[in-house]
A = this chain, B = another copy of it.
Amino acid sequence: MAREGRKGGRRGVASRKGGAIDQLPWSQSRLAFPSFEFVSEEQLQKIHDTSIRVLSEAGIRVMSPRAADLFAAAGAIVDRDTMTIRIDESIVNKALETVPSEFSMVARNPQKQISMGGTAINFGLVAGPPNTHDCINGRRAGNHRDYCNFIRLAHHFNAVNIIGNQVVAPMELPSNTRHLDTYLANLTLSDLTFHCTAIGRGRAMDGINMMAISRGIPVAQMAETPGVLTVISVNSPRLLDDAMTDGLIAMAEHSQPVSITPFTLMGAMTPVSLPAAMAQQNAEALFGVVLTQLVNPGTPVLYGAFTSNVDLRSGAPAFGTPENTKANIIAGQLARRYGVPYRTSNANASNCVDLQAAYETMMSTWGATLGGANLIYHAAGWLEGGLTASYEKFILDVEIIQNIKEFLKPIDFSEDELGLDAIKAVPTGGHFFGESHTMERYETAFYRPLLSDWTNYENWQAAGAKDALTRATALWQQALEEYQQPELDPAIAEELEAYVAHRREEIGSNEP
């Protein structure tokens, strides 16, 4: 399990001399406060009871004979005509017995091991946008060059703990082997764990195999400390497709973690009322959790949540809404109830990096944090409801993540920090600037921001009156300049290249 504290990171003290970007060191953030009990135990029970009735009375449709067999063997009622599977509470409870409440993940840098579960909190790079944007070059289709740049940024900033699935899709590369290019970039340009796509068994296995190669271990050993994670999206309402199910099975067989994430926009994929949306999400998530344990008891699994709402005037998806914030917190209460690590997201619906992007992201992030999310996916770079990965939004999000990480830092209540003598030493109406108690803590007392500018108006004007968006543009450029590729054993690099070449040929034009 990762320890609290500094490790594997860099603190660019040079930036105070005008050098490298100043940032927080790498650390495993943990919630230092008790769980936030937003809704009552009784209300949680109502959600739970409703979701069990959804599972036992309506069921979930799963387009996979293998999954149907596993559920049938576990005592589920399987309708082979419609492939609808109904399960009762005892099947859920039995599966929950074998779910690990906390597990670790690591890529090739043991100092960047992360913990999923318990009080741990991790932040992931945005995943999936078809487009990318920065304020210099504008909006464009996803491509391999931008893909690599985002991996460099994720590696450079300690705020990012894990790489999501395809931060931007490299649209110019063949779609059936694109995953190999992105895995290779993840493993050579960074030393972080990542999300490998599980649309079908092949893509999942490539992720598992390549991570094992990069760590210089046999695939079997990946079960001890997983290195890749996948997200299985439920096609809400109540549908799990065959490719997703195959991917889930492949990951579970190799004990690699799976996040079961119903995509539940209230008003579209669920009823408009929040309790109903939570009940449906809960049913779908629990169903996927059960499947992982039927495949391989003990498989690490996350309770995934992505409940937000649509704009009922236009049908457009909305994120970072008050409803989304509540859902993020309640889902955390449910996941804790079941002892399952919890994944949610940080999202917003703005079309540019503006005030809306900032406040919606904050609503989302506070909900996720108060929900005790072990993984906040899409935490850095998400824009346009997920259709664009933005460079400036990435910098904004790193600042927001750092603020949250500092907020989570435990407070020292020792006598020295309570500072009675320090208070008494300064006369009434005086100041504490030169005091020894102050000077001794000068360097580390407060969070030093990445993006915020605290100079006064006159100095800010004199320095060009740059707003935070303008400063963000400068920061991602500087970070790409400062970026240093992590060293990789040439033999391992060669083995990775060979794997990709072999698989590229094998897949050819045969696989979808």
Contacts and interface: CB of A to CB of B under 8 A. Distances in A.
Interface residues of A, number: 124
A446 B57 contact: no
Contacts of A267: 432-433, 438, 445-446
A442 to B, nearest CB: 6
Contacts of A145: none
A507 interface: no
Contacts of A428: 60-61, 84, 237-239
A268 B433 contact: yes
A435 B272 CA distance: 10
A441 to B, nearest CB: 5
Contacts of A460: 351
A102 interface: no
A468 B356 contact: yes
A135 B366 CA distance: 30
B321 A445 contact: no
A417 B452 CA distance: 42
Interface string A44-55: 001100100110
A39 interface: yes
Contacts of A433: 267-268, 315
B272 A452 contact: no
Interface string A257-293: 0000000001111111111100110010000000000
A36 B36 contact: yes
A165 B84 CA distance: 64
A430 interface: yes
Contacts of A430: 237
A321 B451 CA distance: 12
Interface of A: 16, 33-34, 36-39, 43, 46-47, 50, 53-54, 57-58, 60-61, 84, 235, 237-239, 266-276, 279-280, 283, 309-318, 321-323, 325-326, 349-363, 366, 370, 384-385, 387-388, 396, 399-400, 403-404, 406-407, 409, 411-413, 416-420, 422-424, 426-433, 435, 437-438, 441-443, 445-449, 451-457, 460-461, 465, 467-469, 472
Instruction: Pick the 9 closest A-B CB pairs, nearest first.
Output: A276-B419, A362-B362, A358-B358, A322-B406, A355-B468, A272-B445, A354-B467, A61-B428, A239-B429
21 contacts: A33-B36, A43-B411, A58-B424, A60-B428, A237-B427, A266-B446, A267-B432, A267-B438, A271-B422, A275-B411, A276-B437, A312-B446, A316-B454, A318-B454, A322-B406, A323-B447, A349-B454, A355-B451, A359-B400, A362-B362, A363-B403
